[in-house]
């Protein structure tokens, strides 16, 4: 495996890959978010959550969520960042481009992240899994399918109680642990997609949300043994940069 590889040839590089489990029926919801595939809306501190616009529910400018906030509070910003990466992949028709995730092209990376969010409603007890019965999380058109899946995930998080419990790797855990893993998944894989597009010559911004990167860096530093024991990460890469994004990417086996 090359130094840039972030994932072993045996599986996904992030802790939210295989360990998540969900119960309940599976069903492919409408891929058009505007077709109201959700049965509930919610009101959060940021206002009402519109299922059709849920992937974009996030703060901006001076309203940014600070890095000291919980992973759950940071998820909307990370979702917006990943959605921007998905939109860029669609604009540049970059689905088949190789990424820093060894063996995965852009479509595979997006499909992996989409699958995690397709499971969220079931994991949080807010509805059935949104994964397709055929096992393909994206279907023929990745962009609207991603938006529909993440809309369901966003509403599930907005309506789940703060003390919700989930099952991770067969063990009971607080939902906050799921949020941490999903946040890392979103942040690192958003960079994977953007880097793939940039290497191919597309004019894309590879900068990640600063607060999300800083928060994930703190979590990764305190869970290095867990990540190393998972066997799903490449060798950490040294960096002399003081930039939290560069440090985070280095710890998960990527060269920024």
- Alpha helices, DSSP H, located in 160-232: 175-199, 210-222, 224-230
What does the pLDDT read at residue 134?
64
Tokens of 174: 């607080």
Query: Does residue 240 sit within a domain?
Result: no
Query: Does residue 242 sit within a domain?
Result: no
Query: Does residue 2 sit within a domain?
Result: no
Domain around 81 = 66-208
CA dist 190 and 99 (Å) reads 11
Query: Does residue 84 sit within a domain?
Result: yes
What is the signed CA dihedral for 143, 149, 150, 153, rounded to 10 degrees? 180
Tokens of 10: 């045996």
CA atoms within 13 A on the CB side of 106: 26
Q: Indicate the number of domains in the chain.
A: 1
Query: Does residue 80 sit within a domain?
Result: yes
**SS3 category, 54:** helix
CA dist 19 and 63 (Å) reads 34
Query: Does residue 40 sit within a domain?
Result: no
CA dist 237 and 224 (Å) reads 13
What does the pLDDT read at residue 233?
66
The answer to whether the pTM exceeds 0.85 is no
Cross-strand partners of 26: 129
Nearest in space to 15 (alpha carbons), one of 204, 178, 245: 178
Query: Does residue 77 sit within a domain?
Result: yes
Tens-of-pLDDT digits for all 256 residues of the chain? 333 333 333 333 333 333 333 333 323 333 333 232 333 333 333 344 443 343 333 333 346 688 788 999 999 999 999 999 999 999 999 999 999 988 899 999 999 999 999 999 999 999 888 877 666 788 888 999 999 999 999 999 999 999 999 998 889 999 999 999 999 999 999 999 999 999 999 999 999 999 999 999 999 999 888 777 776 667 888 888 999 999 999 999 888 7
What does the pLDDT read at residue 39?
30
Residue 136's domain is classified under what CATH number? 1.20.120.450
CA atoms within 13 A on the CB side of 73: 12
Cross-strand partners of 167: 172
Torsion sign (Cα): 101, 105, 106, 112: negative
Query: Does residue 59 sit within a domain?
Result: no
What does the pLDDT read at residue 83?
97
């Amino acid at each position: 495996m090359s130094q840039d590889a972030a994932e072993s040839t045996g599986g996904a590089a992030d802790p939210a890959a295989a360990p998540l489990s969900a119960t309940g029926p599976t069903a492919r919801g409408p891929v058009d978010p505007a077709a109201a595939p959700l049965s509930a809306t919610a009101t959060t501190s940021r206002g009402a959550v519109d299922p059709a616009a849920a992937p974009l529910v996030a703060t901006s400018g001076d309203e940014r969520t600070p890095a000291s906030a919980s992973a759950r509070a940071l998820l909307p910003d990370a979702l917006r960042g990943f959605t921007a990466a998905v939109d860029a992949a669609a604009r540049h028709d970059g689905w088949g481009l190789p990424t820093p995730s060894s063996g995965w092209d852009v479509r595979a990376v997006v499909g992996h992240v989409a699958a995690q969010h397709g499971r969220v409603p079931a994991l949080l007890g807010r509805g059935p899994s949104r994964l397709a019965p055929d096992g393909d999380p994206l279907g023929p058109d990745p962009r609207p399918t991603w938006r529909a899946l993440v809309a369901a995930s966003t509403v599930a998080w907005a309506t789940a109680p703060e003390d919700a419990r989930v099952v991770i790797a067969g063990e009971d855990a607080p939902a906050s642990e799921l949020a941490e893993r999903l946040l890392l998944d979103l942040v690192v894989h958003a960079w994977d997609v953007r880097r793939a597009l940039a290497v191919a010559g597309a004019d894309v911004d590879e900068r990640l949300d600063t607060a999300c990167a800083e928060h994930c860096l703190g979590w990764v530093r305190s869970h290095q043994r867990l990540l190393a024991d998972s066997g799903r990460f490449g060798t950490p890469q040294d960096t002399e940069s003081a930039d939290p994004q560069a440090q985070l990417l280095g710890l998960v086996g990527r060269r920024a």
